[in-house]
Amino acid sequence: MLRYIIKRVLMMIPVIFGVVTIVFFITAITPGDPAAQILGPSSTEAQRAELREELGLNRPILVQYGSYLKNLVLKGDLGTSYIRKAPIAKEIAERFPTTFKLACYSMILAIVIGVPIGILSALRRYSWIDIASMSFSLVGVSIPNFWFALLLILVFSVKIGWLPAIGISSPAGWILPVIATSVASLAQIARTTRSSVLETMNMDYIRTARAKGQKESVVVFKHMLKNAVIPILTVCGLMFGMTLGGQVLIESIFAIPGLGKYMVDAIMSNDYPCVQSSVLYLSVVFSVVSLIIDLLYAAVDPRVRAQFKSGKPKKIKATAKA
Amino acid sequence: MENLLQIKNLTVHYNMETSVVEAVNDISLDIKRGETLGLVGETGAGKTTTALAIMGLLQKARAEIISGEIFLNGESLLDKSAKAMQKIRGDKVSMIFQDPMTALNPVLTVGEQIAEVVRLHEKCSRAEAAARAKEMLETVGIPSYRYKEYPHQFSGGMKQRVVIAIALACSPDLLIADEPTTALDVTIQAQVLELMKEQIQKRDMSVIMITHDLGVVAEICDKCAVMYAGEIVEYGTVEDVLDYPTHPYTRNLLNSLPSIDGEIKKLQPIEGAVSDPTNLPPYCSFQNRCKECMERCTEGNPKLVEVAPGHWSKCFQHYKESEAEK
């Protein structure tokens, strides 16, 4: 198992390298002059040239790339923001806990509510519970979360006045952003849980469990859910990675100092080092989350575990069907 | 000998979206203590539905028991609550399913799956249940150190042994084996059959052996019931039914088998196909394939007639003149 983890961590290196390289060259060929952006429209060409010189932007692109990689790999230096002149590593580290908390809270909410809803709809298929919860989740998947966030503010902050509209200085301030962030994941998790449980509930081994005289609740939670959990984990991982990547609109609406807004600001202001570092951050986040999800697969499914031990990880879906 | 299981006039239908599948139609069966009954018939004849009705495991959404009663030890199973049935399943009546590849839960160890049924029905500790499970593994010919292994680490035959261990763990009064060897290859079939035969004799339990393999019936059954289109068309001791078949369907079935010492010729299939179970005729459902079909066969559905003591057949051929006039 440890060998597998080490292998996966090593495999992350080429992935991240690839991402870093592609993003570096894309930002480099993007039209727009960072110097003009920084100095503003009233600057003279001489001032801009001076700044370009200072930032090293007039060097050949391969040289820029080389020095960027050198700093990144040897010093772990993500560079300095063009605009704020602050080290980017520090800026990301400052914002990460907020984004991480938002992602965790909304994920927990989505799982705690989404999974039971999914199970219930599957067990009571075509009942009013099923129809109601699946309509709800269809709406949940479809509505834009910023619109939903505004709606929440309108109802709970403006009309009823229970919760603060912006800021996360108090625990109550987290409630609306967490709900707004989780609604899409919640709906997606509920739908996935439903279809996965539906697929599992007609399996022969469920009949075997019933033939043993097992209680229905145990049949559902021990026999069904443990088998249905892999697709649910996949969706959870994807959703978690996405929220960790930052919720630009939610962060803007609720004035949360998170990474989503940070990245968009960086892109808008042509702050190349910031953009590159943000994408680097995203690729690391997705790699780590997918590693964790793969390890969770192994924790629930002995067949996946067996593959890890034999060192030949195959596609999980294929083996689950076999 | 007293009857362990009595099925009286059982009729089960499946309500599909646009049609009704008449899976089991008015069948009656008695199984005595210690008796092994072979339930024979082709796919769709209603064998498994009958078994699931006994187990109380018919799909609630689709299946409907139209009429009939099932008694186990004189107690009506169909009147029992879901909870009471849970106590009976796995303990008094247990079932071996057809496909061992899918009958075991892939994410639980085989030992756990055997111990589960022990813990459900016998008041014992986790450790005792595990010990019993290991004992059962040895009984079915699997070394007990494989307790902690998962189904994917076992071959098909081994999995079926585990399924048998689960079914036998609580020493049921009645074992229903639904085509236990169909999904296995021939050599493994023989081994599994041997194991079942040995256990049946040792435990003195009643068995319903569902199969379409007449060889299996000849091998381990005492009685044999032949099903066709949801009805029992012939019933009697294995000798009666296999050696002196009286129903045309049984005769055709036996004719279609290759003989080991006979001359090798073309196999003789039964012409035609089974009547559509959503649209069974009001008369004999074998009539369209029967070479011995008479005029009256399309006039009504014959009842089971006792052609010899304990040997019943559902065909107008056996109606005496007096009955014919009725």
**Residue B152 is nearest to which of A205, A222, A303, comparing CB atoms?**
A303
Q: At CA A225, angle to CA A224 and CA A229, rounded to 5?
A: 125
On the question of pLDDT at A175 being above 60, the answer is yes
* Whole-angstrom distance, CA of residue A148 vs CA of residue A140: 9
Tell me what the pLDDT averaged over chain A comes to. Answer: 86
Average pLDDT over residues A130-159: 91
On the question of pLDDT at A29 being above 50, the answer is yes
Residues A100-109 have pLDDT tens digits of 999 999 999 9
Average pLDDT over residues A12-41: 84
Tokens of B40: 């024979």
- Are residues A211 and B94, on separate chains, in Cβ contact within 8 Å? yes
- Please, which residues have CB within 8 angstroms of residue B72's CB and are 6 or more apart in sequence? B4, B5, B54, B88, B92, B93, B173, B174
The confidence score (pLDDT) of residue B259 equals: 73
Q: Where are the alpha helices (DSSP H) in chain B?
A: 47-55, 82-88, 100-103, 110-121, 126-139, 156-168, 186-203, 214-220, 238-243, 248-255, 321-325
A311: pLDDT confidence band, cut at 50, 70 and 90? low
The confidence score (pLDDT) of residue B326 equals: 42
The confidence score (pLDDT) of residue B325 equals: 43
Residues A207-249 have pLDDT tens digits of 999 999 999 999 999 999 999 998 999 999 989 988 888 788 8
For A298, which residue in chain B has the nearest alpha carbon?
A: B107
Most B CBs within 10 Å: which of A196, A206, A208, as the mutation test of the B interface? A208
Least Cα distance to B217 among B197, B244, B246 occurs for B197
Which chain A residues contact residue B88 at CB under 8 A? 213
A280: pLDDT confidence band, cut at 50, 70 and 90? confident
Let me know if A6 is exposed, middle or buried by CB neighbors in 10 A (0-12, 13-18, 19+): exposed
Q: Which residues of chain A form beta strands (DSSP E)?
A: none
Which chain A residues contact residue B90 at CB under 8 A? 211-214
CATH of domain B3-92+172-325: 3.40.50.300
* Whole-angstrom distance, CA of residue B75 vs CA of residue A238: 54
Q: What are phi and psi of A320, to 5 degrees?
A: -65, -30
Which chain B residues contact residue A300 at CB under 8 A? 107
The confidence score (pLDDT) of residue B164 equals: 92
Least Cα distance to B171 among B97, B247, B92, B284 occurs for B92
Most B CBs within 10 Å: which of A127, A203, A205, as the mutation test of the B interface? A205
Q: Domain map of chain B by residue range?
A: 3-92+172-325
A316: pLDDT confidence band, cut at 50, 70 and 90? very low
Residues of A contacting chain B (CB within 8 angstroms) = 125, 203-205, 207-216, 222-223, 226-227, 300-303, 306
What Å distances lie between residue B283 and B233, B280, B295, CA to CA? Answer: 13, 8, 11
The confidence score (pLDDT) of residue A320 equals: 40
pTM of the model: 0.81
Q: Which residue has the higher pLDDT, A81 or A211?
A: A211
> Could you count the other beta carbons within 10 Å of the beta carbon of residue B190?
14
Q: Which residues of A71-201 form beta strands (DSSP E)?
A: none
Tokens of B258: 């290759």
Q: Which residue has the higher pLDDT, A292 or B61?
A: A292
Can you say how many angstroms the Cα of residue A308 is from the centroid of all Cα atoms in its chain?
25
Can you say how many angstroms the Cα of residue A207 is from the centroid of all Cα atoms in its chain?
38
The confidence score (pLDDT) of residue A321 equals: 37
Radius of gyration of chain B (CA): 21
On the question of pLDDT at A313 being above 70, the answer is no
The confidence score (pLDDT) of residue B264 equals: 65
- Series of mean pLDDT values for 10-residue runs along chain B (326 residues): 88 91 91 92 89 90 91 91 91 90 92 94 91 92 93 91 92 92 85 89 90 88 93 93 92 83 74 84 87 85 88 86 48
**What CA dihedral angle connects A203, A209, A210 and A214, to 10 degrees?**
-150
Q: Which domains does chain A have, with CATH numbers?
A: 94-321 (1.10.3720.10)
CA of A135 to nearest chain B CA: how many angstroms apart?
22
